[in-house]
Chain A
């Protein structure tokens, strides 16, 4: 039988926010005279859905319906600083910035509502667009009427600003040690890959991915699943298909268009089971950590382990192409795939190490006692 099934597992962690911090996001919010909410933040939506997530956070932090909230992230004149949509920082840092701004807006709404209701702001709560007195729900005023009263009666603009920044964490150049946490949170994930390997053609087919991600809190589970599934396909490309330099380290035969560069497509889509775990971060918005980048990190290792489980060879140069699978099987059949044993050392992959390829045993090669 040329086709062999295998299962591999991989478990990873990934930080939220720029490594060593120092990457601010800021936001400001204003209310229209009918209580509708305008959010201004510089968070770029690169397809991850940050506008959706930011507006969800603002709706709940103020206490108004989601449909009331609009976000403008279109330019640097109207929006304050966002360091950028990278480092899996949008939901946590950008989300905290709009949350802090929304909390200021909520306070201003309560101040005006307190005057209108002749109550203490401390006794008021906001839910679904209505401000009411705790324990006396009949004494209430809509946020729309509060905004109108502010505009036409009190001559005030209800607004709020927020800024999220964790200070830069210097690193000791000799030990790598830091004095403060160099990230906002850490997310975790595990991935199981079920594959089928054809030992005649070298092809690896991914049958199923089972993946569990602890994202702290899923602000929008559909978007989290979108990240998990989209990321899985990128991880599958990295693991099995893609290579800018197919003959690395040589530079020949680079793909210069989609027709000559092998990226994953729908035909490679395996069955994907996505599990969302919620172990909240104490200082994330509503407990959120992150999901963005890590979603393509777990698959390559799981795939390499599944290939070993299927046919008993380790392919540790990516991508795991049919050619590499067949060459590894050839080495196995020639008795050359086994690690070298030296004392208590078990040494794999010696032929591709810097000690073998570099001159004089590789100037910076690992010194393993």
Chain B
């Protein structure tokens, strides 16, 4: 049940609003990546202490906890921003657009650390986008449509394995440092989450819409 007046009731400039809400989603996704850096730093700190018998120093624990709270606050702020700018009608599209923006941003940032590893993490993204595009194109067969929409997020699960494979190869040939490998593994474990969640929601949403229409 499409209600155009409901869709545009909040603003006279829907296109502008859509861009703003997509950007808010992208910012929210990027704040979700901050804890990865903090956790990495915490793991490295614990590694230094490991086996030495030294205790975690008081000022370090204060630092990690307070930075953690700052990250949580940023997540709170960005999710408030996301939900206050996003309208229900364009929610899923804005979420997907935002996820694509933030993931591309992350991939560019990772390229500066190591372009080979970044490439191994990012090849799944165009495949996923192509699959989503095909699911829109192939409307005739229900099975193919479902298969394409599901593979669009299934392929993202191969991303972390691809990073592990490439990293293991480069690490064995002494072409990659252990720290950068760890950074990539930790990042790849969270990199695809926003896109996976929004594609999964899209898949589930298209079904729920049908159920609501019956009422």
| Pairing of A with B | no
